[in-house]
Structure 1
Amino acid sequence: MPTAQRVRNLVTGATVVTSLAAAVGVGYALGNDPDGGRPPASPPIVLANADLTVAAGCDELLASYVDRALEAVGPYGWGGDVMYDVMTSEDAGAAAAPSSEAARSTVSTSRSTSNESGTNVQEAGVDEADVVKVAGSLLLRLRDGELLAYDVSGDEPRLLSSTRLEDARGSSGWVGDPGGEMVLVDGRAVVLGTSTDGMSTTITTVDLADPTSPAVVDTTEVRGRASAVRLHGDVVRVVLQNGLPELDFTAPDGTLGQLRARLSNRALVRDTTLADWLPTVDGAPVVDCEDVAIPDDDLALGTTTLLAFDPAEPTALTTTAVATDSAISYFSTDRFYLAASAPQWGWVDCMNCRPTGFPGTDGTTPLFAFGLDGTEATYVASGEVEGSIADRWSMDAVGGSLRVAVGPSSETGNFNSVLTLREEGSDLVEDGRVDQLGVGEEIKSVRWFDDLAIVVTFRQTDPLYAIDLSDPTAPRLVGELKIPGFSEYLHPLGEQRLIGMGQDATLDGVTRGAQAALFDVTDLADPRQLDVVRYDEGTQAGAATDPRQFTWLPEQRTVLTVVSQGWTGTTGWVSVLSLADGSMSNRMVEVEHGTDVADVRLVPLASGKVALVTGEDVTFFAL
């Protein structure tokens, strides 16, 4: 029987294991560079074949953008001959995972996701940006464009300093949020701000050697939207998206209006420069032409750039890019994976959805893998899976194996699958797979462990699937559990317990309110729900959309998680879930109201205390 999703190699040959960011001379800043786009003295890196290549010069790179763009422009602008509401990356950003004895003996759930910076992260060893960070007795938080530093070593948190950050301004000149999120490394905070129009990112580096008198050492504004920020050791990596340029398109009017508008709009596209397609600083691209890989497939038009730097030298930027616009990326400790998507034409029915991967026009999702070493990103392999990848939580890498959870597409059956892939030369090739997960249902959450995957799907009930990945060449479904409702975020509680935050639902699939479900995965052939806490009707679990609103305190066997209710007049609580003997007791503490509920954090400190960060205050939370 043919497989539902097979892997089709994109790139072959061994010559591609070379950094796109290798030193091949200074790149050409604009499409009309004075040298006419001639290649540098040393030829640019050529990837294995036309499926993923590097242009011979800036003129050729610009021509690749323009040629693709001309196919997508019509009398109404982007979208061809029909007027569409186009969702660009900026819109998405502004709009805002057998026998029981065999299972016991081979499967481990020991992977940890705790992080000493105070942020609940996807991957151990890879810190993520947040509105709060902690290092020893120093706590930093962002509020209304200010970086606030607190001493949390005493009986109460004490404010040490407040540093005003420079406003982020987009192409329209609108002022945005200068302090959206940050990472903290070696006494320096790197703060990412976003302009109101979502098209520019401000990267501010603040020296906190003296936290009572912080010093802003660099502020760089990049045209491009930051869709992910990660910290590997002392290297900060920012994924920047540049979607379709905003051009002054003409609309049809009068006799022969469509023809004239089409010709006028195509002329605008032909007049674009590389500054319209690539991330720029002060109008000049920050990525060299020879460091942009061009995919041959019909993918979302734009550019995704991986920008890296050491905060000790914030102006020394290293960049690598792929000429497609994608919001779905995953970082392991030594790899960066980008899942590409098809052009996103059409109406958007959700203004605050998490980024979703639309498969290519042939029902497949291309994957590009880069090795990480210092600030360098080296292209290592590509592959393609049939099916759709919902978000970063659907990917994971361990022990040289990439694991991917995929949903259905035009090239698959009406079910979900888990695939394992390995790097074979420069190819990502399928190693093993499990199909027929949640027939006719949607993946709601995925959690990966060293040799285990837990996948939750939903239509009317919540099937929870346990998949043994101890042998990547032969993954197998070892157990499933069907219960009402579904989990949107899963978190390990040691080696035998798992908690899911999501929604309670009736037997016919109507959601009622938030719920927390405790699972026993000791016997993977027979996973069990031990207990469930159901919150009031109409409530939402904060961790369902932002896992940073979830905190696990293993020594106290306590979960702290945010629950909210109401779209207008919102109220936020901290749900204190105490675990004992396979059951949960719940205590609700009202802590915040309004839009500030989204920024509530509960941060474990080295002293054993927990800092509660709300819209206006930093206090210690009484356990």
Structure 2
Amino acid sequence: MKTLIRTAVTAAALATVTAACTSSTGGTAPPPKTNLGAVRLVAYDSCDDLLSGLREHAAQNVTAYGFGNIMPFAAIEDSRSALPQAKSMVDTPEHSTTNVHEAGVDEPDLVKTDGNRVITVTDGTLRIIDTATRKITGSLKLSEGDQRVVAPADLLVSGDRALVLFRDGDIMFKSSVPRGDTRYVVVDLAGQPKVLSTIKPRGTYVDARMVGSTVRLITRSQPDIMFPQPMDNFSETEQLKANQAAVRQAPAGAWLPEIEITDASGTVRKDAVKCERVSHPADYTGTSLLTVHTIDLAQGVTAAGTDPISLAADGDIVYGTGTSLYVASNPRWWLPIRPIDDTPSSVTTPSSGTAAPAEEPTPTDPTVSLEPSPSTTVSAPPEPSPRPTPTIPPEETEIHRFDIASPGPPAYVASGKVPGRLLNQYSLSEYEGHLRVATTLNSQDGRSSSSTVHVLRTDTLAKAGEVGGLGEGERIYSVRFIGPVGYCVTFKQVDPLYTLDLRDPAAPKVTGELKITGYSAYLHPGAEGRLIGIGQEASEEGRTLGTQVSLFDVSDPASPRRLSQLFQKDSGSGAEWDPHAFLYWPKTGLSVIPLTQQTESGALVLKIDDAGVTKLGMIKHPTQRQENEYTYQPGIERSMVIGNAIWTVSYEGIQVNDATTLAEQAWIPTR
């Protein structure tokens, strides 16, 4: 019996067709459009134009199993005057902040500090800790009803306002597991914390960036369309035609993202993105929409709501500067879609080889078998109808740029494509009117790969230049762009660290190469002429051996060399794949990374100076005992410098240690 997982549509969504075409998001004019020729982003002229375009493009891209090519899943008053004044900067101790990609562009993280307070959310409860008394001074439960939050939330903080970001998968009910709970909660931190507003968009949370007090939030949504339930002996061709018919009959409300805003009094206001505030690139599928919400934490949520604008595109990687916001969509790891039935699966994904790290920054390439598995029944089954050989789409990364230099909603600027896939946001970097993009391109058979740095013009995202041939047969493990210089690490058995001269956008070039065992999964600028690498040491055969911290001398781009290496056998660090977990305090060279070993977990404290990397010690959180008498040591996820102390954060609590002696000073449980 075949089973189809379907995208559901509610009666309310069907009823919003007319309202969605005429609804207002607060009277703000649509964002300006820039004439960019063939790559420009085009706004729909009307709801009829939007509906016609989305229906036809989505119908061309729907499959017999729904949308997607991996899984068939397819008013609050301005209260600025009431804000209490923040403490004087004179009273604020020196402190570190979230390790971010671009200075002045804050990124959501599970803990924030302004030096006077530490704010975190655990199990759905926001807590404020005073750094002077080292005590919890305020708490606020943010979970709803019988929900239990089992994962930490992301935070952004500006003054006495916090934005708590709950993403899909954070919420679990006692009785069932929903698809997700995307919520953005604005909290007043002055005195006892309180909720000012709750925003529930349709879609899943992708990421956010904050410049000043203005937050840009990106969500992603699929059309909310009911596909017909397949019947026995229903062929894929017939099911595809039925799904296409459902798409072509779907109302505009199936695509237009809805927003529900609840103010402090409990009053609920519902809205939807207007048709004329939805744009599309020249080439699009109609199967997903990106929506950018704007919230100024200094003002809270005003009559304009979140001032949303949408783009008929997909995206999963966000990179931002002070004036630009980029959303990129990696090619999906392609697998042929099959209905769920009683026959053996024809898709096999073997485990990765020993050359792969214990925890990959990106998935390993799956091996796809396109031949059906032989039948295991005793009697000969009927001859199956032949299946067409699936066409594997080329690996291309789509990139969309928004101008965020002005207040209010961002303006669409340009859209472009580059071959290959990104590793993460550090694969993108804007510099002097150009965007540098580092990608790895795999061959169609998955047996070879090569990496390239593309240079695009920021006004059109058209190609200005490129340098390729990096790491033949390997893939990118880390990238860092620092001004006109780029650093790229590829890996399979050895770690070539490439240095790149990007001063001439039309003619970027490789200037140096360093081959060492292992790899760096994260690169961080150190003192002048120095580069810090966090990753794994490996054998000559590429087998990973444990965490390594490297200090590179890159003062001569033609001859990079490793000055120092610290190796921790049989260990791993979350800083390899999550840069927010890395702390580097340039004033003293203090550095802290999470470390997990076979017998213990904690935070490795280092000193990194011009000469080398020195281990200072380990910070460990108190052993915890569960109800079944099982004991475990909490893994440390974040660390901060506040005054003369190191603050470390785990799921169980926050510990304070002296920054010089590492002596424990305080333990603050947060559960």
Does the TM-score normalized on the shorter chain lie above 0.5?
A: yes
| Amino acid across the alignment from 1:337 | Y
Alignment partners' CA distance in 2, 1:344 and 1:250: 27
For the 8 Å contact 2:67–2:287, the answer to whether it is kept is no
**TM-score normalised by L of structure 2:** 0.73
Alignment partners' CA distance in 2, 1:188 and 1:463: 45
Instruction: Determine the structure 1 residue equivalent to 2:187.
Output: 206
For the 8 Å contact 2:17–2:253, the answer to whether it is kept is no
Change (3 A) 1:356 1:37: farther
**Alignment of 1:417 onto 2:459:** no
Instruction: Determine the structure 2 residue equivalent to 1:227.
Output: 206
Structure 1 stretch displaced more, 412-421 or 312-321: 412-421
- Within 5 Å, give how 1:224-263 maps onto structure 2: 224-243=203-222, 245=224, 247=226, 249-254=228-233, 256=234, 258=236, 261-263=239-241
Offset of residue 44 of structure 1: 9.7
Alignment partners' CA distance in 2, 1:490 and 1:35: 46
**Alignment of 1:554 onto 2:586:** yes
Change (3 A) 1:440 1:399: same
Change (3 A) 1:45 1:492: closer
**Alignment of 1:161 onto 2:138:** yes
**Alignment of 1:369 onto 2:401:** yes
Offset of residue 597 of structure 1: 5.4
Change (3 A) 1:65 1:176: farther
Offset of residue 46 of structure 1: 6.7
For the 8 Å contact 1:118–1:134, the answer to whether it is kept is yes
For the 8 Å contact 1:292–1:320, the answer to whether it is kept is yes
Q: Deviation digits for residues 88-114 of structure 1, max 9, x if unmatched?
A: 7xxxxxxxxxxxxxxxxxxxxxxxxxx
Structure 1 stretch displaced more, 136-145 or 348-357: 348-357
Offset of residue 269 of structure 1: 2.9
Offset of residue 494 of structure 1: 1.5
2:43 pairs, out of 41, 44, 54, with 54
Offset of residue 182 of structure 1: 0.7
**Alignment of 1:582 onto 2:611:** yes
Alignment partners' CA distance in 1, 2:30 and 2:566: 62
For the 8 Å contact 2:31–2:411, the answer to whether it is kept is no
Alignment partners' CA distance in 2, 1:59 and 1:571: 61
Instruction: Determine the structure 1 residue equivalent to 2:255.
Output: 277
| Amino acid across the alignment from 2:71 | D
2:315 pairs, out of 318, 321, 326, with 326
Give secondary structure in 2 for the equivalent of 1:33: helix
Give secondary structure in 1 for the equivalent of 2:97: coil
Alignment partners' CA distance in 2, 1:232 and 1:183: 11
Instruction: Determine the structure 1 residue equivalent to 2:114.
Output: 135
Instruction: Determine the structure 1 residue equivalent to 2:489.
Output: 456
| Amino acid across the alignment from 1:516 | V
Q: Deviation digits for residues 318-363 of structure 1, max 9, x if unmatched?
A: 22221112102211111012224557652696999767899x9455
Give secondary structure in 1 for the equivalent of 2:527: coil
Tell me the number of residue pairs that the alignment of Structure 1 and Structure 2 aligns: 549
2:561 pairs, out of 510, 528, 551, with 528
For the 8 Å contact 2:22–2:274, the answer to whether it is kept is no
Alignment partners' CA distance in 1, 2:640 and 2:499: 31
Instruction: Determine the structure 2 residue equivalent to 1:101.
Output: none
Superposition RMSD in Å = 3.7
Instruction: Determine the structure 2 residue equivalent to 1:501.
Output: 534
**Alignment of 1:121 onto 2:100:** yes
**Alignment of 1:382 onto 2:367:** no
Offset of residue 86 of structure 1: 4.2
Change (3 A) 1:528 1:249: farther
Instruction: Determine the structure 1 residue equivalent to 2:654.
Output: 618
Instruction: Determine the structure 1 residue equivalent to 2:667.
Output: none
Q: Which entry has the higher C-alpha Rg, 1 or 2?
A: 2
For the 8 Å contact 1:77–1:250, the answer to whether it is kept is no
For the 8 Å contact 1:117–1:133, the answer to whether it is kept is no
For the 8 Å contact 1:327–1:355, the answer to whether it is kept is no
Alignment partners' CA distance in 2, 1:291 and 1:354: 35
Q: Which runs of 5+ in 2 are unaligned?
A: 1-12, 75-93, 170-177, 261-268, 337-346, 353-358, 366-391, 625-631, 660-671
Alignment partners' CA distance in 1, 2:14 and 2:307: 15
Instruction: Determine the structure 2 residue equivalent to 1:572.
Output: 601
Alignment partners' CA distance in 2, 1:591 and 1:336: 38
Instruction: Determine the structure 2 residue equivalent to 1:68.
Output: 57
**TM-score normalised by L of structure 1:** 0.79
Alignment partners' CA distance in 2, 1:158 and 1:419: 50
For the 8 Å contact 1:519–1:527, the answer to whether it is kept is yes
For the 8 Å contact 1:456–1:465, the answer to whether it is kept is yes
**Alignment of 1:346 onto 2:346:** no
Offset of residue 583 of structure 1: 2.6
**Alignment of 1:183 onto 2:153:** no
Instruction: Determine the structure 1 residue equivalent to 2:471.
Output: 438
1:218 pairs, out of 189, 193, 197, with 197
Change (3 A) 1:546 1:596: farther
For the 8 Å contact 1:299–1:341, the answer to whether it is kept is no
Alignment partners' CA distance in 2, 1:526 and 1:87: 50
Percentage of identical aligned residues: 30
Offset of residue 489 of structure 1: 0.5
Change (3 A) 1:230 1:29: farther
| Amino acid across the alignment from 1:325 | D
Instruction: Determine the structure 2 residue equivalent to 1:515.
Output: 548
Alignment partners' CA distance in 2, 1:188 and 1:29: 36
Give secondary structure in 2 for the equivalent of 1:487: strand
Give secondary structure in 1 for the equivalent of 2:651: coil
For the 8 Å contact 2:292–2:308, the answer to whether it is kept is yes
For the 8 Å contact 2:65–2:72, the answer to whether it is kept is no
Instruction: Determine the structure 1 residue equivalent to 2:644.
Output: 608
Instruction: Determine the structure 2 residue equivalent to 1:15.
Output: none
Alignment partners' CA distance in 2, 1:471 and 1:262: 49
Q: Deviation digits for residues 193-216 of structure 1, max 9, x if unmatched?
A: 134345441111111222xx1121
Instruction: Determine the structure 2 residue equivalent to 1:406.
Output: 439
Alignment partners' CA distance in 2, 1:519 and 1:30: 61
Q: Which runs of 5+ in 1 are unaligned?
A: 1-27, 89-114
Give secondary structure in 1 for the equivalent of 2:580: helix
Change (3 A) 1:610 1:374: farther
Instruction: Determine the structure 1 residue equivalent to 2:17.
Output: 32
For the 8 Å contact 1:489–1:500, the answer to whether it is kept is yes
Give secondary structure in 2 for the equivalent of 1:591: coil
Change (3 A) 1:545 1:198: farther
Alignment partners' CA distance in 1, 2:20 and 2:569: 67
Alignment partners' CA distance in 2, 1:123 and 1:38: 37
Alignment partners' CA distance in 1, 2:63 and 2:622: 48
Change (3 A) 1:502 1:592: farther
Offset of residue 147 of structure 1: 0.7
| Amino acid across the alignment from 2:579 | P
**Alignment of 1:470 onto 2:503:** yes
Change (3 A) 1:257 1:592: farther
Alignment partners' CA distance in 2, 1:267 and 1:597: 53
- Within 5 Å, give how 1:35-114 maps onto structure 2: 48=35, 52-78=41-67, 85-86=71-72
Change (3 A) 1:597 1:355: farther
Q: Deviation digits for residues 284-339 of structure 1, max 9, x if unmatched?
A: 65422112112232558301111111122224312222111210221111101222
Change (3 A) 1:615 1:246: farther
Q: Deviation digits for residues 149-182 of structure 1, max 9, x if unmatched?
A: 011124xx1110111114399xxxx765696111
The answer to which structure, 1 or 2, has the higher relative contact order (CA under 8 A, 6+ apart) is 1
